[in-house]
Chains A and B, each alone.
Chain A
Amino acid sequence: MKKFTAFFGIFLLIFIFSGCSNKNSQPISDTKFALDTYCTLTVYDKVPKKVLDDGFKAIEDIEKKMSVTIEDSEVSEINKNAGIRPVKVSPDTFYVIKKAIHFSEIEKGYFDITVGPIVNLWNIGTDKARVPSAEEIKAKLPLVNYKNIVLDEKNMTVMLKDKGMSIDLGGIAKGYAADKVAEVLKKEGVKHAIINLGGDVLTIGTKPDGTNWRVGIQTPFKPRGEYFGIVEVGEKAVVTSGVYERYFEKDGKLYHHILNPFTGYPADNHLYSVTIITDTSIDGDALAKVFVMGLDEGMRVAENLPGVEAIFVTDDKKVYITSGLKGNFRITDPEYTLMTK
């Protein structure tokens, strides 16, 4: 009997101590509201907290230049002077608009920052969201055309050709901001970090132990943070566009925030979400809009771009991935099935 109790005593002690032996250095992290969303910076190196603040400063700087809700932002200035005169902008804004036009070409116009007038009709994501009439949309559609953005590289000016045109950098500014934050953090000696701007993830380096980051992909229409699959990446941007992010329902129909610039209506193509994995976040953000192109064409675009991988999720819970992701992506939710094609 004594032996027996002694045995159990030892058994218990082992368990009690094994519970507290795993020490790991705590990362520093902070969250702020900017760019219309929650931005979280997590740094795994020993750096002063000031580094995070510098990162957030970079985000706020971009917001000041590119937000459409800030009255005196450069983008608001461009929109106000549509059809009137060119507006001189900072190199940041000029670069983002140039990149946006570049990706509009790659995505055959399905990604278009001049979709502003249509966005303002729908107001999805605000409390003023509504279904506009077909006439309203028809009236505004001619204003949507990225080819009517006039860039002057020498004078750093941007002009919208037609009156009433407006640009919305919502689909690309977040990505650029993340790249900027990464630049700032790296300059301050950060080697391992995760930048998360409203769900757009950009990693710096690898995990402190040298292994790849594991990024979960949001399960559509489930509480935020629940994921159906995990992708393993090194220093990459992982950006997702999903219908579940901002939407409203009217008369049993779901209207989400990813608008098709050709129809003026939310893209209706049985996709739930598209996740893009690229080197820079701005590319990822802009490319995530291949969502609008649908599964087949979107997949083709993603496959043909070097250094770009993609994960498409359809509304029947099937998951399609580009060939380069095989072995780096796995599904953890049995409701979702990985398709090979």
Chain B
Amino acid sequence: MKKGDIFIILFVAVLSVGLLVFYRISATQQYHHKYAVIMIDGKVYKKVSLDDVNHKEEIPIVTKQGKNILLVKNGGVQVIHAECPDKICMKEGFIDKPGQSIVCLPFRIVVEIRGDKSVEIDEVTY
């Protein structure tokens, strides 16, 4: 290995660790409201609130190519059924922090968790 090699490796390592730390910090910020956004082809398909940790729901995501099923539980989401060929989205597991996302490339689905730092609403009427 030469000097340049070490420089490149260190450069990338520092950069990615820096980015990771930055993500960690931005993910541990306090959010008043947390929700999952399901997007197909970049368009919002559905929004689900994740504020209620006791809420359990299975959401079918139907695309032109096939269907995936998203499970909402414990204030997070997970893909539990995928008809796509690679099933990477299922391997991505359970996510519950704002900024995290699950991607299904074959079906062009992105499930993203977002948080509202500023309170979007003051009260709910029901």
Judged by CB atoms under 8 Å, the answer to whether A and B touch is yes
* Stretch in contact with the other chain, from A117-125, A137-145, A257-265, A330-338: A330-338
Most chain A CB inside 10 Å of its own CB: which residue of B25, B29, B120, B121: B121
Residue of A nearest to B33 (CB): A225
Chain A residues, CB < 8 A from B46: 334-335
Whether, in the assembled complex, B65 has its beta carbon less than 8 Å from a beta carbon of chain A, the answer is: no
Residue of B nearest to A231 (CB): B125
One of B18, B29, B52 near A223 (C-beta < 8 A):
B52
Contact A333 B123 (CB under 8 A): no
Contact A12 B21 (CB under 8 A): yes
Whether, in the assembled complex, A280 has its beta carbon less than 8 Å from a beta carbon of chain B, the answer is: no
Give complex CA distance A8, B22 in Å.
Answer: 10
Chain A positions 230 through 257: 1 when the CB is less than 8 Å from some CB of chain B, otherwise 0:
1000000011101001000000000000
Whether, in the assembled complex, B124 has its beta carbon less than 8 Å from a beta carbon of chain A, the answer is: yes
Residue of A nearest to B51 (CB): A225
Residue of B nearest to A1 (CB): B10
One of A11, A218, A333 near B125 (C-beta < 8 A):
A218
Chain A residues, CB < 8 A from B45: 334
Q: How far is the CB of B122 from chain A (nearest CB, A)?
A: 5
One of A15, A222, A335 near B22 (C-beta < 8 A):
A15
Chain B residues packing against A (C-beta within 8 Å): 7, 10-11, 14, 18, 21-22, 25-26, 29, 44-47, 49, 51-52, 55, 120-126
Chain A residues packing against B (C-beta within 8 Å): 1, 4-5, 8, 11-12, 15-16, 19, 42, 194, 196, 199-201, 203, 207, 213-218, 222-227, 230, 238-240, 242, 245, 275, 332-335
Closest 6 CB pairs of A and B: A218-B126, A199-B126, A216-B121, A216-B124, A226-B49, A223-B52
Having A216-B125, A225-B51, A239-B125, one finds 12 other A-B pairs with CB under 8 Å, namely: A15-B22, A199-B125, A203-B123, A207-B122, A214-B120, A214-B121, A215-B121, A215-B124, A216-B124, A223-B52, A225-B124, A238-B125
